[in-house]
Structure 1
Amino acid sequence: MDILYFFSNPAMPEGNELVAARRYDAVYTDSAAERAGLAACLDALKKGDVLHIARETHLGDELADVVELLADLARRGVDVHVGRTGATLHAESSPYLPLTADAVRAYSAFFNAMCRHRAVQGIKRARAEGKSWSKPRLPLPENYAEMVRTWREGKLSAHDAAAQCGMSPSSFRHRAQEVEA
């Protein structure tokens, strides 16, 4: 049986192209992260069936989960045809069969750690170059020192003093602490 499964995403219309391309014995689709259609599709697959997918990422969000699922399908004797690449993963010679979930999880953890490391290094480099991600500070108004003194003496509330300075009360208090220090 030829069975089609695709994760419907307006940004990636490959699944719609697969549906239009040929006839299938059954079509399963999802548009929500729970992937209830995938669960139904996997229940319907039997030895000798061919599962057609637009891309591997339709089968899950994590690399380890996708590889584990493809290895399970190979053990069950289900061929997988990937429409994006045109490749067919035959059950008897699937490259996913010898991979263990632990090896894939280890690679995935290593890959994620490398991405985090590169991000941290990039942030350090940007900071060394003087780049900032925060909103630039506005200069203090001319009457700021007088408003802080009036607020400290209790003659004016922080809300009213901040309004007269054109600031939010939290910014007014925060900057007042900085000026004192």
Structure 2
Amino acid sequence: MNLGYARISKADGSQALDLQIDALTAANVAPDHLYKDKASGKREDRSGLEACLKALRKGDTLYIWKLDRLGRDLKHLVTTVRNLSERGVGLCVLTGQGANIDTTTSSGKLIFGIFAALAEFEGDLIRERTMAGLAAARTRGRKGGRQFELTKNQIRLAQSAMANRDTSVADLCRELGISRATLYRYVRPAGQLRDHARRVLKVERDTPPGAST
């Protein structure tokens, strides 16, 4: 059975599904086997795609207009198609850069294999660049990872202020120049330190303001 999936990025009517639907219909996809979404490709909650993937059965073929209609990015695309292949479902791309991809044929599988290799290569490059950047930072005396927003003195100030029931959280955040979410990442509502703060202060347990650390 042939199933089709079509997607446009905007739901305000500035784009139309007609072109994709016409192409899918011409590829022998019945109207009641067409699944549609009006959502950004970056979104994970695409109900049309989710329903389409659930409806596919072994021996079916999924038709899409272009590769960018299906995957959020190259990695997601490769993962999706691999899952389809493991279920015995084929993929056929009708136009665009992936127009020769038809995983129901040997040549189509070969072409998609190249895409999969490129996705793996891209992932390796990202990891290598990240490690190289961290190594370069360490040679300059900097440590990689997330930077802390508050200094030790600011954390102790926040700890003491939050222990006082009369403290205005909004005023404290304004004084420290941080958001409420950032404040609570360091200090609990009653003033106890969170793990984020302990790492900055280099303490293993909560200590009251003014105590030796």
Give TM-score, length-normalised by structure 1: 0.50
Give TM-score, length-normalised by structure 2: 0.43
